[in-house]
Amino acid sequence: MKRERIKSIALTSLVILSLVLSYRLWSYKPTYDPIQRDYIQNVKIGAQKDFENIVIPSQVVVHESNKHFVTSKQSNILPLYKALQKVEISNFENLTSDTSEQNFQGITKGKNKIEIIFPTLIPIETLDKIFKLDSKRLQNIVFDRIVIRMSQKQETSSKIYFVNDSLNLLYDATFDNSGIISAVGKIKSNYKHYTDSVKYKLQTGKTIYLPKQTVKLKTMEFLTSDIEVDKFKDAIFIDPTNVRKESSDSGDTYTDGTRLMTVSPLNRSITFVNPTIAADENQSPNVLIQKSVEFINGHGGWTDGYVLSGIKPENNEIFYRLNINNLPVFKNATIATKLGKQDDIQTYKRPLYKLNLQMEKKESEMELMSGPQIMEVLDNNKSINKSLIKDITLGYETIFDGDEDQINKFYYNRAIQLKPVWVIYYGDSFKKIDQDLLSRTGVNIVGLE
């Protein structure tokens, strides 16, 4: 009897021990030493930005009877733009097929209308990241303008219009008007101080507004510095430790055997190419913007006031242009990305410099031609194909100070001038109207980028 009891206790003990060992085996989590990487890709060159700080209107136009008052000043634009971001916008309806050309002009440019104009077409999905839109039924639609009425009445709701001006595409929606009454009131009391402008319709279908009178703008000068190239190398190569550098008279080249980054001291710019990424079929503008912003935010690539300025879906390209005083800057002042397959960046081009301090010196004021004078110059130039003119705008041209003997050195505190110019977006390039050449030799437009 005792022997049987001893056997039973021993068997029970073995079963318990087996269960304990099994539990420990199942729940065992081995500790491994962390893998040590030889490089760190968490590089921040500048800032990260939200969409609302990248997608910025270039103009606000107040339509009063047959007059058009235009402002490009952010102090006038941003209060209304920010107020619109806080209101709910819903009940979208497509009015395009039911709206005649005359009614389209009346709705978008009629009396007491405020037209908010963007520098390029914006996908509705991107606008949805900026505004509170109930636009789930809308996809793959792009707009370049938003129109509201200049009313200060305490209405519970009012109409807002989303417009693609070149295609006469028109959607309306409703929003709580009380949320923007204050911002509209400021515009209503100040708009007569805006620039009295003439409306022109280009052959592409786009409507532009040019000042009736000549324009006076100042040439500005800034001190700049170059961004350290090694920061870009560490930010955009997968394994920076595997990157080798080769130098030549034209600049430095960095490669890991497949990817390539070239540095141009002359243009103070870099170009990154990843040939392992195949070209993709045309992506939607929304995807292109989303992936481009994610890529640039990934290394804090926003060094100055760059805003969304162009989309080429046929090439999967996105462009962000440096803006000063809410006017575009030309000549090596653009960040550009091209998307390939697997949503990876195939090419990345950008300036290497960043602005520091504006120099305290007497700024020279320039008098630029009026809108009617600009149109006369274009009309009188028989070599210009009017159907290729996509836009006409005021802007700044960059002029770098520097000694060519020092071309391969970094130019910390090197000066840059921003000279006011009239710019024409012609075909796929930007050209300026050089007033000096115009008066001396009759040359009308010259290449800018």
* Average pLDDT of the residues in 194-215: 96
Assigned domain for 22 exists: no
Same domain, 67 and 198: yes
Angle, helices 181-190 vs 74-84, to 10°: value is 160
199 and 68, same domain (yes or no): yes
Residue 374 and residue 323 in one domain: no
Place of tokens 């995807």: 287
- Yes or no: say if 228 and 303 are a contact pair by the CB < 8 Å rule: no
Q: The CATH number of the domain where 227 resides is what? A: 3.30.310.160
191 CB neighbour count, 10 Å cutoff: 20
Cβ-proximal residues to 145 (8 Å cutoff; 6+ apart), any chain: 108, 115, 116, 117, 118, 162, 163, 164, 165
Domain boundary among 209, 234, 262: 209
pLDDT of the residue at 262: 96
What is the tens place of the pLDDT at every residue in 95-122?
A: 999 999 999 999 999 999 999 999 999 9
pLDDT of residue 222: 93
227's tokens: 């961004």
> Of all residues in the chain, what percent carry a pLDDT higher than 90?
66
422 and 294 share a domain? no
pLDDT band at 448 (very low <50, low <70, confident <90, very high): confident
Which tens digit of pLDDT belongs to each residue from 221-262? 999 999 999 999 999 998 999 999 999 888 899 999 999 999
This prediction's pTM: 0.87
Position 31 confidence tier, pLDDT thresholds 50, 70, 90: very low
9 in a structural domain? no
- Rounded CA gap, 144 and 134, in Å? 19
Model confidence pLDDT, tens digit, residues 37-95: 333 457 889 999 999 999 999 999 999 988 999 999 999 999 999 999 999 999 999 99
Decide which of 357, 391, 413 is a domain's last residue.
357
295-309 pLDDT, tens per residue? 999 999 999 999 999
Same structural domain, 402 and 312:
no
Structure tokens at 17: 């021990």
What pLDDT sits at residue 400?
83
- Integer Cα distance of 210 and 368 in angstroms: 12
pLDDT at 159 over 90: yes
Query: What is the domain range of residue 435?
Result: 216-220+358-447
Residue 335 burial class via C-beta count within 10 angstroms: exposed 0-12, middle 13-18, buried 19 and up: buried
Asked if residue 308 and residue 370 are part of one domain, the reply reads no
Q: Does some domain include residue 432?
A: yes
Q: Are both 195 and 324 inside the same structural domain?
A: no
Q: What is the pLDDT of residues 342-366, one digit of tens each?
A: 778 999 999 999 999 888 776 688 9
Query: Which of 140, 175, 209 represents a domain boundary (last residue)?
Result: 209
For residues 167-192, give the mean pLDDT. 91
In this structure, is residue 418 part of a structural domain? yes
Q: Would residue 33 count as lying in a domain?
A: no
Looking at the structure of the chain, the number of domains it has is: 3
Average pLDDT of the segment spanning 11-33: 51
Q: Is residue 272 part of a domain?
A: yes
Tell whether 35 is covered by a domain: no
Summary mean pLDDT of the chain:
86
Looking at the structure, tell me whether residues 318 and 437 fall in a common domain. Answer: no
Helix (H, G, I), strand (E, B) or coil at 70: strand
Confidence of residue 17 (pLDDT cuts 50, 70, 90): low
Residues 310, 380 within the same domain: no
Residue 410 is predicted with a pLDDT of 53
Q: Which two tokens stand for residue 115?
A: 């037209």
| String of DSSP letters for 302-334 | B-S-EEEEEEEGGGTEEEEEEEETTEEEESS-E
Residue 44 lies in a domain: no
Task: Output b/e per residue, 421-432; b: 16+ Cβ within 10 A.
Answer: bbbbbbeeebbb
Say whether both 226 and 307 belong to one domain: yes
Residue 178 pLDDT level (bands cut at 50, 70, 90): confident
The H or E element that residue 297 is part of is helix 285-298
Question: On the CB side of 328, how many CA atoms lie within 13 Å of its CA?
Answer: 31
Same-domain status, 333 and 249: yes
Does residue 166 register a pLDDT over 90? yes
CA–CA distance from 147 to each of 27, 117, 158, 359, 448 (Å)?
63, 9, 11, 39, 32
Q: Which of 378, 334, 324, 436 is nearest to 210 (CA)?
A: 378
pLDDT tens-digit map of 61-73 = 999 988 999 999 9
Count of Cβ atoms closer than 10 Å to residue 242 Cβ: 13
Average pLDDT over residues 391-397: 96
Do both 402 and 439 map to the same domain? yes
Per-residue pLDDT tens over the stretch 397-447: 999 875 555 544 555 568 899 999 999 999 999 999 876 545 444 445 666
